[in-house]
Amino acid sequence: MANSTFVFEPEAGVAYPVNMILNTSTDFEFTYQALNSNRTPFNFVGWRGSAQMAKSVAIGATFGAVATFDVSFYNPGDGKLKIKLDDTQTKNLKEGRYVYDILVHSPSSKYYRLITGDVLVYAGISSTP
């Protein structure tokens, strides 16, 4: 399980960049901890989130989500959240470069793009017995 800690300033309007590597046919999990600008944990109590991944394609090509992550705030008072895909969701992904983002929805009904980045998907060489 990989993880990343970052400063979240909602009013700045800038998503934090985090790139990831994902292997097909495996469970995937990535955790994050958001901090306030004074480096204390951000409070996500009452927030909701969503995240999707799409194939990174040339300008003008079809662009649509190929996977939807499960987003959970597993320790919201400490600014902790995680995104997950299970092995059945990663099984049919094609090797290549993808993009993803995580949107969060505050209790006051404001949406913020929290994280954005690239996902490198590897199919692997070896097969299971």
Predicted pLDDT at 13: 86
Q: What residues contact 2, with CB distance under 8 A and at least 6 apart?
A: 20, 30, 31
Q: What residue ranges of the chain have pLDDT lower than 70? A: 1-2, 58-63, 126-129
Predicted pLDDT at 73: 95
Residue in 64, 72, 60, 50 with CA at minimum distance from that of residue 98: 64
For residue 127, tell me if it sits in a domain: no
For residue 32, tell me if it sits in a domain: yes
**CATH number for 113:** 2.60.40
Domain total of the chain: 1
Residue 57, domain extent: 2-122
For residue 128, tell me if it sits in a domain: no
Q: How far is the C-alpha of 108 from the C-alpha of 46, rounded, in Å?
A: 9
For residue 110, tell me if it sits in a domain: yes
Write down the pTM of the prediction. Answer: 0.88
For residue 68, tell me if it sits in a domain: yes
Instruction: Give the model confidence (pLDDT) of 79-110 as tens digits.
Output: 999 999 999 999 989 999 999 999 999 999 99
Predicted pLDDT at 124: 74
For residue 112, tell me if it sits in a domain: yes
Q: Are 118 and 18 in contact (CB under 8 A)?
A: no
Predicted pLDDT at 60: 53
